[in-house]
Amino acid sequence: MNRRIVIAIDADISLQTQFVLHVASSLLELTSSELGAVLLHVIPVPDLPRSKFGKANIALTTTQRELAERALHQARLALQKQGIAPERIELLLRSGSPPGEIVKVACELEADFIMIGSRGNSLKQKVRRVFTGSTSRQVIKLGACPVMVVSLPPIPGSDSLVAWYQKAITHSLHEHPDQLMIFTASETASLFAPPRRAAGRKEVAAASAALEQLARSGVLVCQRINGELRCSND
């Protein structure tokens, strides 16, 4: 491949990353086969100051590497399921400061542009930005090539919120077809919470409604245990 786009992937293949992959696949379908995708995951490592013996070398754990490699393979599979040929996809694993490594890789590969997801404006993210700044903003600041920041569409009302949870649950089931998955309303509301929303009572109610609708359509099997709705795909 002569041309590349660098796509930043997080370790848990969040909804943000899933949407980035969806947008990336659409772009790749519209371009020639000369444009390829480099799926990049950066294992965060603190940037320690240099000592008189040089910069400290922090060893990565086996678990960190396994999670990172699993995320990259899942991302590649997601692109392939959307019709992107395997030979147009490269996997790359780095460690260090995510913004710095993303920009560094893009420079090394002379990438056409970088694609990265936005985590939204939840309270958690706002607090994190006060101390560290968002990864996407730092990439924009440091990058020597164009940066495409992909944000999830807004969730305006309760009906859309139920649909959001239905889509998130369905996608999760699709990504793990051979795995027994159990959902509760509270866990689903928290795990798949949309950007800019905390998992409060409205989200739990929407998640519960989504689970019940999927049960009525035969996708899930649900029952109440001690008053709590529990659903599974078996």
Query: Does domain 158-232 bear CATH number 3.40.1350?
Result: no
pLDDT tens-place string over residues 12-71: 888 788 889 989 998 998 887 889 999 999 998 866 555 454 554 556 788 888 999 999
Q: Where in the chain is the domain with CATH 1.10.10?
A: 158-232
Q: Give the model's pLDDT for residue 2.
A: 74
CATH of domain 3-150: 3.40.50.620
Residue 41 contacts residue 70 (beta carbons within 8 Å): no
Residues of the chain with CATH 3.40.50.620: 3-150
Give the amino acid at 6: V
Regarding predicted confidence, which is higher, 19 or 128? 19
H-only helix segments in the chain:
15-30, 62-81, 98-109, 123-131, 135-142, 158-175, 185-191, 201-216
- What global pTM score does this model have? 0.61
Neighbours of 25 (CB within 10 A): 18
Specify the pLDDT at position 156: 47
Assign residue 133 a region: left if phi > 0, alpha if psi is -120 to 50, beta otherwise? Answer: left
